[in-house]
Homo-oligomer: A and B are copies of this chain.
Amino acid sequence: MAKKKLNVGMIGYGFMARTHSNAFRKVGNFFDLDYEIVLKAVCGRNEAGVKAFNDKWGYERIESDWRKLVEAKDIDLIDICTPNDLHLEMAVAAAKAGKMIICEKPLARNSAEGEQMVAAVEAAKVPNFVSYNYRRIPAVTLAKKLIDEGRLGKIFHYRAKFLQDWTISADLPVGGTGLWRLDVNAAGSGVTGDLLAHCIDTAIWLNGSIKDVSAMTETFIKERKNTFTGEAQKIGIDDACTFMGHFENGSLATFESTRYARGHKALYTLEINGEKASIMWDLHDLHRLQWFDHKDEGQLRGWRSIHITDGDHPYMKNWWVPGLQIGYEHSFVHQVADFLDGVSKGKLVGPTFRDALETTRVCDAVIESAKSGSWQNVKK
């Protein structure tokens, strides 16, 4: 049976556009899908930039106006890989045009924007998805399965952190490629929306909703030179953020993120302690899951380091053979495979815009608590 074609229109040509394009190109080689993905058009404002990008990725055409792309008849799916401040307008337009939408995380700069985006996709009834890719690292997916099977029992603690060190130098400017992340207007927030949002999405997925939070943020470097203006610019983002809180299920949350942890590149770690068992995972060794099971015989109890490369591990029968690890990029392939499977079956696959809105609401509460110095309930 011939596969249906699914034409992708990509907005953006930066780092995330590469990870998504790679996923679109690879997914059919490894997963059985009803759709054949076609890289139809890529869109960006910087002509040379888009051109260089497309020399590698081979979209059929280049667009310079995202509105034209969004309305193009031959596009089925819009993929938004732009800075956060553009998500709202693009997603609403794409929804109105009846396109399926994949949007890079975080959903938006804040929940006010996010609510409009949710309203738009739900009104339009289009498939919608936010790229919190870490849910589909096989080790994390296995953690979800173990929790859902009740193997951890009552959960007492959920702790996560996401530590980086790339902004320690005061000489690092704000503004250009990648550096929009230091600009609060473009990004909405600093590590909270960029890094903690990942931790929060995974946490809600694994452990349910977060009820309330108390947070602390810090901006270590108060001013940076803007790459466009050459002028010093006041830095409005949070360089570091710690929060504690309660999940609806009664477990305690301890979360931290920073870009000032010397020695850590992208150390996203999570740990869940349940009555019966515990789990740890770490992005720097993403192909391993640490598992402690209290029902193991006493003298032999210990943390197991599970090498997640076997055929009975999530997604892994589609890849290589036991012992041969996959990497970061594969989580994006998995999410495209699952998204398309949902499209085939006419069901939404998470994280949807609505799911991602919940994460953004936690982020809002965190930022508000850090400002006010008081506990904040997460908006329902």
Contact = CB atoms under 8 A, between A and B. Distances in A.
What 4 A-B pairs come out closest when comparing CB atoms? Answer: A266-B323, A265-B323, A263-B292, A302-B304
A325 interface: yes
A185 B159 CA distance: 30
Given A216-B214, A303-B305, A156 B273 contact: no
A262 B242 contact: no
A86 interface: no
A157 B313 CA distance: 28
A180 interface: no
Given A157-B260, A303-B305, A166 B312 contact: no
A231 interface: no
Given A214-B216, A303-B305, A15 B321 contact: yes
Interface string A31-46: 0000000000000000
Given A265-B309, A326-B328, A260 B156 contact: yes
A258 interface: yes
A65 to B, nearest CB: 25
Interface string A9-34: 00000010001011001101110000
B312 A306 contact: no
A38 to B, nearest CB: 13
Chain A interface size range = 35 or more
A62 interface: no
A289 B243 CA distance: 28
Nearest to A213: B216
Interface stretch (A76-84, A91-99, A276-284): A276-284
A299 B313 contact: yes
Interface in A132-167: 142, 156-157, 159, 163-166
Instruction: Decide if the interface of chain A is mainly helix, strand, loop or mixed.
Output: mixed
Contacts of A303: 263, 304-305
A89 interface: no
Nearest to A25: B29
Contact of A322 (B166, B296, B302): B166
A260 B286 contact: no
Interface string A336-374: 000000000000000000000000000000000000011
Given A30-B56, A263-B278, A324-B327, 9 more contacts: A15-B321, A29-B57, A166-B322, A214-B244, A260-B273, A262-B277, A262-B278, A287-B327, A327-B330
A218 interface: yes
A276 B373 CA distance: 31
Nearest to A145: B299
17 contacts: A15-B321, A26-B26, A29-B57, A156-B261, A156-B262, A168-B275, A214-B214, A216-B244, A242-B244, A261-B278, A262-B273, A262-B277, A263-B301, A264-B278, A320-B329, A327-B327, A373-B375
